[in-house]
Amino acid sequence: MALSLNNAGPVLRIKTPDRKPIIAYEKMKEMLIDDGLFDYDEILTDDVARSVCIFKKEGIKFVMKLGNHEPRGDTTKFNLLKNEDKVYLHLYNKLGLEYQKYFPAIIDSGSSNEKFYYIIMEFIDGITLYDYVNESYKKNTVRSKIEVYTILLNLTKALEVMYSTGIVHGDLSVENVMIEKDRSVKLIDFEKSSKDIKLAVNTVGSTRLNINRQDSEGIGYFFLVLKLLSVINSRNTALIKGIKNIIEDCEQSGNCVNVYAECVQLIRGVLTSNNSKTKRNKRVGGGGRTIKATR
């Protein structure tokens, strides 16, 4: 509040915060079209609540995220998208082509006269980890071990690559991991990501470790590991314990530099051993001996 003096004595004047007018989602889209920054042949889905739109242009699908000055916690969606854009730029600058596959390609981004922020990116033809796990629960289907371990390996590799650039995701949830048909994984939603976040509980590990929970709350790498492994029939407790140990070591020592690389090594070992077990079973007509996972 500011105090001003006039003839009638001191008067309290409420200082209105410097608030920019909030533009609604549809209006933002219209303004981008008027500015020649957005053009589409067909809108496929419009998630107004999230300000995310999937559209088609010349037969290709794209995703557009829009952010206005609406408060989001202690910031705004505008600032979150600006941060996300900066993080993508950092990842692409730091990584070679072979590692960029773990993130969607950014087609265009920027602000429309500082009124709102937009990011147009590659459409990932896949489903979120949330949908993958939920589909299994709903249809009561058991996924193959090889498939699930491959997805886990790809997820962990994506995190290893991301972390090699110094970035911590900060919002690692089942909705921010996309799985493609060939089981490759792409990380999305870098709104809260930063180089200044420390890898710790809730970024690598999670306080919610109950694998039997059917909901999809919780964040952190370990939570995703548990969610993913819950869709296979027999739980590989050695793998879960192994990953837990690696995470606990990093959290206790405060040295997490190799946390994802170590998990990649562990998962790769389990996958290789399962692959050869499957091949051996096929050769002997399905009656092969069970072999222990080796590292």
Q: Which residues bind ligand ATP (CB under 6 A)?
A: 50, 52, 63, 65, 104, 121-124, 128, 175-176, 188-189, 191
Tokens at 227, concatenated:
């969610």
**Minimal CB distance to Mg ion: which residue?**
189
CB count, 10 Å around CB of 14?
A: 7
Tally of residues, the chain: 295
With CB under 5 A as the contact rule, the residue among 51, 83, 128, 176 that binds Mg ion is 176
Helices and strands: H and E segment counts in the chain: 8, 12
How many residues contact Mg ion, by CB under 5 A?
A: 3
* Closest alpha carbon to 116 in 66, 63, 54, 73: 66
Question: Cβ closer to Mg ion: 154 or 176?
Answer: 176
Q: Residue number with the shortest CB distance to ligand ATP?
A: 189
Q: From the CB of residue 25, how many other CB atoms can be counted at a distance below 10 Å?
A: 19
Give the nearest distance from C-beta 190 to Mg ion in angstroms: 10
251: partner contacted, choices ligand ATP, Mg ion, none (Cβ within 5-8 A by kind)? none
Using CA atoms, how far apart are residues 166 and 181, in angstroms rounded to an integer? 29
CB of 235 to Mg ion, least distance (A): 28
Stretch that binds Mg ion, among 117-125, 151-159, 171-179, 216-224 (CB under 5 A): 171-179
* Residue 8 buriedness (CB in 10 A; 0-12 / 13-18 / 19+): exposed
Least distance (Å) from Mg ion to the CB of residue 72?
A: 12
Query: Contacts with Mg ion in 254-283 (CB under 5 A)?
Result: none
Measured from the CB atom, the residue of 188 and 199 that comes closer to ligand ATP is 188
CB of 124 to ligand ATP, least distance (A): 4
189 binds Mg ion (CB under 5 A): yes
76 binds, among ligand ATP, Mg ion, none (CB under 5 to 8 A by kind): none
- DSSP result, 251-288: HHHS--TTHHHHHHHHHHHHHHHHHHHHHHHHHTTT-P
Q: For residues 63 and 52, what is the distance between their CA atoms, to the nearest angstrom?
A: 7
77 phi, psi to nearest 5 deg:
-60, -35
Nearer to Mg ion among residue 122 and residue 147 (C-beta): 122
63 binds, among Mg ion, ligand ATP, none (CB under 5 to 8 A by kind): ligand ATP
Smaller CB distance to Mg ion: residue 176 or 184?
Answer: 176
Return the one option of Mg ion, ligand ATP, none that residue 39 interacts with (CB less than 5 to 8 A, by type): none
Give yes or no for a contact between 205 and 246, defined as CB atoms under 8 angstroms apart: no
Identify any residues that bridge with 180 across adjacent strands, giving them in sequence order: 126
Q: Minimum CB separation from Mg ion for residue 175, in Å? A: 5
Minimum gap (Å) between residue 62 Cβ and Mg ion? 17
Dihedral (Cα; 237, 224, 230, 103), 10-degree rounding: -120
Kindly state the smallest distance separating residue 242's Cβ from ligand ATP, in Å: 29
By CB under 5 A, name the binding residues for Mg ion. Answer: 175-176, 189
